[in-house]
């Protein structure tokens, strides 16, 4: 049985926990270098999904694509059609907080957004997308055990990569740590499905400072973020 137009895996092909980078090549890199006996379970539209084992725990990894519409589709289908319980987004982010530098780790306990995604839930007010406390607590603990110093707080999920708003300094004033493009939709889908979600990001660029990493580094060099997610999977 193939339950969705976007995922060709069979029921049971995914583990209860799925790691979701945005980039399909990063998903492939994780499966090849961190999972044992990894098997390709989805490749519709080149969105690679694998299931294997990490320290005897069954874990899946699949790309989400870029942006909230893409994350919204894949996380919804994993939660509601494939009985996935936990989705951990592992992606790149742009630093907003001055204290962050390239390759630093950010754990997003909340996700501000400029998206209208929440309107699809017909809520009579404004929803505040937040991470699973249990997953966030485990991530902080894993960081300590791995000798990693994360920053934990609010992130900003933007619907746009290029725009004329120049809004990052405004979010900086509100204590927001970093900008990315998927977490808010993931957190909303998790809430609606009664499931768990967390976003762990690596700083790939500092737009207010003009620093950035190249695309090759973004695909393969974010090992701290990958280890954290795998430890709590």
Query: Would you please indicate which residues are annotated as catalytic (active-site) residues?
Result: 205
Q: Phi and psi (nearest 5°) for 26?
A: -70, -35
Q: How many CB atoms lie under 10 A from the CB of residue 3?
A: 14
Number of residues in the chain: 233
Per the DSSP assignment, residues forming a β-bridge with 111 are 155
> What b/e sequence results for 134-143 when a residue is b if at least 16 CB atoms lie within 10 Å of its CB, and e otherwise?
ebbebbbebb
Packing angle of the helix pair 24-34, 223-232 (nearest 10 deg)? 70
How many CA atoms lie within 13 Å of 79's alpha carbon, on the beta-carbon side?
A: 23
Tokens in use for 16? 């209860």
Could you give the CA distance from residue 18 to residue 230 in angstroms, rounded to a whole number?
A: 10
Do β-strands 17-20 and 86-95 pair in parallel, antiparallel, or remain unpaired?
parallel
Which string of DSSP letters, residue by residue, matches 43-74? -GGG--EEEEEETTEEEEEE---SSHHHHHHH
């Amino acid at each position: 049985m193939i339950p969705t137009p976007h995922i060709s895996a069979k029921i049971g092909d995914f583990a209860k926990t799925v790691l979701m980078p945005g980039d399909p090549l990063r998903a492939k890199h994780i499966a090849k270098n961190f999972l044992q006996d990894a098997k390709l379970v989805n490749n519709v539209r080149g969105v690679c999904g694998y299931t294997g084992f990490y320290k005897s725990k069954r874990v899946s990894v699949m790309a989400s694509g870029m942006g909230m519409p893409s994350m919204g589709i894949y996380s919804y289908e994993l939660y509601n059609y494939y009985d996935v319980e936990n989705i951990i987004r592992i992606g790149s982010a742009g630093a907003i907080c001055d204290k962050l530098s390239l390759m630093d780790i950010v754990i997003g306990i909340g996700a501000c957004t400029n998206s209208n995604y929440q309107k699809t839930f017909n809520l009579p007010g404004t929803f505040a997308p937040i991470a699973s406390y249990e997953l966030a607590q485990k991530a902080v603990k894993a960081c300590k055990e791995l000798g990693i110093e994360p920053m934990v707080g609010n992130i900003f999920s933007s619907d746009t990569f290029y725009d004329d708003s120049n809004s990052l300094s405004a979010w900086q004033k509100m204590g927001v740590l970093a900008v990315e493009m998927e977490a808010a939709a993931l957190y909303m889908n998790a809430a609606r499905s009664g499931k768990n979600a967390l976003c762990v990001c690596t700083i790939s660029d500092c737009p207010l400072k003009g620093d950035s990493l190249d695309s090759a580094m973004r695909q393969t060099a974010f090992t701290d973020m990958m280890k954290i997610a795998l430890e709590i999977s």
